[in-house]
Amino acid sequence: MQKDIQVDVKGLVPTPTGCGIFLGDGKKVIAIFVDHSVAAAITMFLHGIKKPRPLTHDLIASILAGLGVAVQKVVVNDLKDDTFFARMSLAQENELGRNLVEIDSRPSDAIAIALQQECPIYVSPKVWEKAEDMTWALEQAAANMTESEDSKPEDDEDDGPAGGSFPGK
């Protein structure tokens, strides 16, 4: 049995209906398309942006912490009809012992929580093989972003990544 492939968020690219989250291992990149609200949360976690009030993922983190639960890992474990599925592995330790639980999750929420909790993100080998390599799309988006930044007048103030977010670039 093959091991799950550990991935990192390589970038987020806005689309007309949401945002593409690009996950990669250094050899291949896959894209999961999500709605704007979860993409905004992921962007905030990637950039360490503090929010004035807790958002949904912050509430989930508070509930988990209150119950003594830690997120161990996230696995994008299935791909059916162009829809990705994920599981979150949770561990709870208390006076009664250790309890391990896996729960179903939308990949977007699982990725947001993984970034917030600083736990690893994996993709199952069957999903990795089935998903199209989207390295070209991430490279094209990065090139377009660079071109638009190069064409900006020099006296413009930069308010942050308007066209997308490319950590590590």
Residues 68-101 pLDDT 10s: 999 999 999 999 999 999 999 999 988 888 899 9
pTM over 0.75: yes
What pLDDT, on a 0 to 100 scale, did the predictor assign at position 2?
86
Return all residues near 162 (Cβ < 8 A) that are at least 6 apart: none
How do the domains of the chain map onto residue ranges?
A: 5-150
Which region among 15-24, 99-108, 143-152 has the lowest average model confidence (pLDDT)? 143-152
Q: How far apart are CA 161 and CA 123, in angstroms?
A: 27
Q: Supply the mean pLDDT for the chain.
A: 87
What's the per-residue H, E or C state across the chain?
CCCCEEEEEEEEEEECCEEEEEEECCCCEEEEEECHHHHHHHHHHHHCCCCCCCCHHHHHHHHHHHCCEEEEEEEEEEEECCEEEEEEEEEEEECCEEEEEEEEECHHHHHHHHHHHCCCEEECHHHHHHCCCCHHHHHHHHHHHHHHHHCCCCCCCCCCCCCCECCCC
**Are the C-beta atoms of residues 160 and 166 closer than 8 Å to each other?**
no
What pLDDT, on a 0 to 100 scale, did the predictor assign at position 100?
94
- Arch. (CATH architecture) of 5-150: Roll (3.10)
What pLDDT, on a 0 to 100 scale, did the predictor assign at position 126?
97
- What number is the average pLDDT over the span 113-140? 95
| Confidence tier at 157 by pLDDT (50, 70, 90) | very low
Tens digit of pLDDT for each residue in 30-39? 999 999 988 9
What pLDDT, on a 0 to 100 scale, did the predictor assign at position 152?
63
